[in-house]
Every structure is written in C-alpha cells, then in structure tokens.
Amino acid sequence: MAAPVSGIDLLFEDDHLIALVKPAGLPTANAAPGEESVFTLLRRRLGQKAFVGIVSRLDAPVSGVVVVAKTSAAAASLSAQFRARTVAKAYAAVVAGRFPAAVGTWVDWHDAVARREGERASVLHPASAARENGGDDAPRAAHVRARVVRRAGEVSLVELEPSTGRRHQLRLQLAARGCPIVGDRLYGSRLPCRAGGVALHATRLTVAHPADERAMVFESPCAAAWKDVFPSLFPGRERG
C-alpha cells in the first residue's frame, strides 16, 4: 500500500488512476473557498497543471473508497463505466431502528430519487416515477441490495450493494424504511455518530482498468473508530 498523503490513505496509484480512502468530513470536490477536498489535496500533491478527474463522489460526511482519474482518457473510461453501471460497489452502514428483513437476508429496493438545486435533502419516489429523460430534478432510478449482518440493541450493521449512484441514495433509502444511518440528522437519525461524520463507509469498489480493462478491486474495512464506538457489532475486535 502506498504511504498516506495529507491525511488521505492511498490504496493504489499508477499513471492512469488513484484509489484512495476518503475520510469522513472531507468533501470529494467543490469545497467552499479556502476549504480542502480530495480534489485540492491531489492537485497540490500532483501539481497545479496535473489532471485530476473526479469521476465519482462520496458525500462529505461519508468515508471510504474513491477512484480518481489522472488523465482525460482514464476519466472518460471510468465515467463510462459508472454510467453503464458496470462498476461494483459495496458499503457498510450502522443504522438505527428495525431493518425490514431478517439477519442475513438480502432484499432489493427499487426506488426513484430526485434532487432540487439548492436543497440539502433529496426526495424518494416510487420506482414507477423514474425518468430516463427530463430536467436535472427529474426522479432517477435508484436500486440497492441490502442485508443486515448483525444486530445489537437499537443498532444494526448493514451491507449495501447499489447498482446506481444517486445523490444521497443510500442515506435516503435506508431512512425511508425506518432505519436511518447513525449520525445522519438530515434524514432523521436521532443517534449521533461519535466516530465522526455519518456511519456510512464505502468498503469496496471494482472497476476495469482504463488502460487494459483488467479488474481492479479496491477495498477499505470500516474504520477502527467504528469498532470502538459499536463494539457489539464487531465481535472479536481487539482493543490495544
């Protein structure tokens, strides 16, 4: 594994792309003036004239694996993969409330998610409302497979595999089913996330390498802070 750079852990780097672990609280891009983001940190590291292609994003309070292109050709290839839904994604979340399925049982949620410019929260619609064409605020299809890995009192550890990547999609889909992500006050959580941000982490991302199309799997387990804050959800965690 490559050495950490400016608070970001690098998982992989070559002439075409960088895979890294974004910490909670750091925007992927488009930070307010004077604030840092993944984009600004990589631009500083690579040089102001370097190409830094943000091909996918995680919300600022969300942590986990992000892939960034280092050339325009790599950006085009990776962006096309995300649009075609050939990128495999996995997340872990700690949620409050009662997940609507038995432990270990996968469920599929098909919805539509809409966003309005200038509004903080996205809005969930029935899957039938999804539109392929329309304005920027048109409902878009949103699909995820989800299952509970473990329950402990009022919280559960959930595994999520979305095939789409709508704004706030997982946060909204979980909250709509009565199990908001811990720390996500925007979508109704009453429990704070003492590990920082919200308890949602991108654990795995699989893409085809832009140069030779070989499968690249980038992984990041949940932060140690999660295991300290939610010890009953992570049995076997050794304390130092």
Give the mean pLDDT of 36-65.
94
pLDDT at residue 191 above 80? yes
What pLDDT score was predicted for residue 1? 39
Mean pLDDT value across the chain: 92
Q: Could you give the CA distance from residue 38 to residue 44 in angstroms, rounded to a whole number?
A: 10
What pLDDT score was predicted for residue 238? 52
Structure token digits, residue 225: 């802070």
pTM listed for this prediction? 0.93
Q: Could you give the CA distance from residue 179 to residue 174 in angstroms, rounded to a whole number?
A: 5
What pLDDT score was predicted for residue 7? 72
pLDDT band at 6 (very low <50, low <70, confident <90, very high): low
Give the mean pLDDT of 165-185.
96
Q: Could you give the CA distance from residue 204 to residue 116 in angstroms, rounded to a whole number?
A: 29
Give the mean pLDDT of 157-182.
97
Q: Which of 9, 14, 15, 59 is catalytic?
A: 59
Lowest mean pLDDT among 82-91, 189-198, 205-214, 230-239: 230-239
pLDDT at residue 178 above 70? yes
What pLDDT score was predicted for residue 240? 43
Lowest mean pLDDT among 59-68, 87-96, 152-161, 224-233: 224-233
The pLDDT > 70 percentage for the chain reads 96
| Dihedral (Cα; 66, 70, 73, 76), 10-degree rounding | 30
pLDDT at residue 239 above 80? no
What pLDDT score was predicted for residue 118? 81
Q: In this predicted model, what pLDDT tens digit does every residue of 209-238 receive, in sequence order? A: 999 999 999 999 988 889 899 999 998 755
First to last CA, the chain: 23
Q: Is 174 exposed, middle or buried (0-12, 13-18, 19+ CB in 10 A)?
A: buried
Q: Is 9 a catalytic residue?
A: no
For 83, residues 6+ apart whose C-beta sits below 8 A from its C-beta are none
pLDDT band at 2 (very low <50, low <70, confident <90, very high): very low
Domains and CATH numbers, the chain: 9-224 (3.30.2350.10)
pLDDT at residue 94 above 50? yes
